[in-house]
A = this chain, B = another copy of it.
């Protein structure tokens, strides 16, 4: 779109919105038209929510979660079991596990996975802090909740080695058939894992 078409303000908003994951140049334009229609209900509050988030949200110095407090609400929560640390790759994975709401434990966000191809080594992840936390007397178990990818599993192996002297139980998420999943659509790796880890009825 020519610079002089709708003014630099709209053009800039479209360009920035197009960089949001899930939106592209086309959907950004459509989004801007919608935002201009919903100026009071959506555009203004959204701009303000972004300003507030940029200003207040910090990374928890304990676990790596995002929150407006440091330590974060999860680390401060007295109803959580501090003897279990769930290790995840990203804050998104932490949120996914919290939505499942299966375990009220502590978390540790690595901030990525080991990936020599991308030049990401142990020093780029929050591993020292994890060793430090896992070595505390109150911690009994570390659950490795990495993604079931090559990088995720490599990282899980590395952490297992690193924590071998820490005197904690180390576990990982079970592999198997996803709930609601159809066998016909699953890969062989998942099927053999599910078969080998079969449980009694």
Mark A residues whose CB is within 8 Å of B: 1-2, 4-10, 12-13, 16-17, 19-23, 27-36, 38-39, 42-54, 56-57, 65-69, 72-74, 77, 90-92, 95, 98-99, 101
Cα-based distance from A54 to B13 in the complex (angstroms):
11
- Find A13's partner among B2, B50, B65 (CB 8 Å cutoff): B50
Cα-based distance from A77 to B4 in the complex (angstroms):
9
By beta carbon, the residue of chain B nearest A15 is B49
- Find A10's partner among B22, B34, B57 (CB 8 Å cutoff): B57
Q: Given A7-B67, A33-B91, A57-B36, check contact A48 B49 (CB 8 Å).
A: no
By DSSP majority rule, is chain A's interface helix, strand, loop, or mixed? helix
Check B16 against A42 for contact (C-beta < 8 Å).
Answer: yes
Check B22 against A65 for contact (C-beta < 8 Å).
Answer: no
Check B46 against A48 for contact (C-beta < 8 Å).
Answer: no
Cα-based distance from A20 to B33 in the complex (angstroms):
10
Q: Given A34-B21, A57-B36, check contact A95 B29 (CB 8 Å).
A: yes
For A12, list chain B residues within 8 Å (CB): 49, 52
Q: Given A9-B49, A53-B9, check contact A27 B22 (CB 8 Å).
A: yes
Check A51 against B47 for contact (C-beta < 8 Å).
Answer: yes
Cα-based distance from A31 to B28 in the complex (angstroms):
13
